[in-house]
Chains A and B, each alone.
Chain A
Amino acid sequence: MFRKNIIIKITIAFIITAFFSLQLNAQRWDVPSNKKAKNSYIKFDNNTAKSGEEVYTKNCKSCHGDVGKANGNKTLNPQPPDLSSTLTQELTDGELFYILNTGRNAMPNFKNTLSEEDRWKVISYIRSFNKKYVQVLSKTDPSKSKLVKINMNFNAATNKMNLSVVANEASGPVVLKDAEVMLFVSRYFGKLQIDKTIRTDKDGNATFNFPKDLPGDSIGNLTIVAKVSDEIYGEIESQTKLTIGVPTDKPSLTAKRAIWNVLKLAPWWIIITYTSIVLIVGLFLVLIVRNLFRISKIGAQQ
């Protein structure tokens, strides 16, 4: 009897533990070890926390709520945690940065919408709620990012875009090895990523497959944006205009007469209908007023 009870209890305990550990696993972030160790090149202080708060209010608050008040959006699944909680605070800066960069489920990624500086400032704001936190600064020197030059070469025969990344140090050119590179094309709303995020090879080169059918402006110009992220040199962004898109010359939506356009460019059918109705009603009213004068005149004559 006693033994049976024990077995049941152990089984129940096991099931519960298994269930909770599954739940926890579902919420845990799987962050690669090299990302986990990443640190901020910005020193966290009151000023960075303050500007981080502004970024937080605009981009994060609608789901996570006010930090420390646990008033996030309860309708989402999984629920966005309060960022002052231990669950969040025991993550490394690198892990937080990774979460911001990749996003998951309902959480969007902020890699392309917030600058690296702003992303670190948000983390600075989140850390300001943790009294025990001690910052480890990265060895990245953002002032050195100015030295880096990104060269873009497009091969029309193979449709490949080749990038070479070189830092012009005083001691001579240094190629950036194993740096993260992303390629984008500017569109109406934001940037469109081309191919995948890759790393430079030992010569500082990265090659992307470039699509043939991207619509450009009237002569086929595309604005190409390359983003390089390096341990030492930080984030570097470079833009060029290349005539490698499909020439597209669509008139603007407000160029022709349309219902949404200004009064001068109203559709003819509305102008004609409206004006003729007003004119017809007006004409009848004039006729009636004339009749009134006629009545008065007849009476005056007799």
Chain B
Amino acid sequence: MTYRTLTALVGALALAGCASTTTVDDYRPTSEPIDIEPGEKVAILGRRDAGHYETDTDFVECLADRMGQSDFQIMSEQEFIDALYPWFEPRTAPKHLKRLQRLMQEPVLQEKIREENLRYLVWLDGEVESHGATGAMSCGMGPTGAGCFGYTSWDKEAVFEAIVWDLVDLTEEARIQVDSEGTSYVIGIVAPIPLLTRVESQACSGLGKQLRSYFSHEGR
């Protein structure tokens, strides 16, 4: 009975630990789907200009994978910055629409965008932060064995913003903010049992789903 209770308790904690709350806020000037022709490409680019953090490359790749499950093509981050080198490097990338409009006045850039069949750019900015660590755990080793006892937890928050720019009409099509929060636990019952929240994955899933719905032909 005790064993069952303990298993149930660990299971319940695991489920609670894995749970996270994801909020997706979006702003679009219209509810119409974003126009995209077959063969046109959407590039996803992470911001790299901030000093204290960088948008995680894995998150950019995760979003590209999620959006890649659609009927339009996704251009990878590296492919995009190489194709338009050096205008989307951390030093040169346009941070605002006005700067993009000025940059795109260059005929050679317009030509390259046309040649690559690029239509939209998704600018991704954000990071995952951990805070609020509580509890204590101690691990030890003796002649008869080793083990960890105790309990520790911490909160994780993933906040990302995606801005969709039309590279042909040079307009902002959408702005989405996703906020995913959760708590991770490690319980030490001889062996440490990690129960980790997957906020980054949840944020990626929420953002990918939302972005895909904008470009979806099904909604028309």
Q: Do A and B bind each other?
A: no
B-binding residues in A (CB < 8 A): none
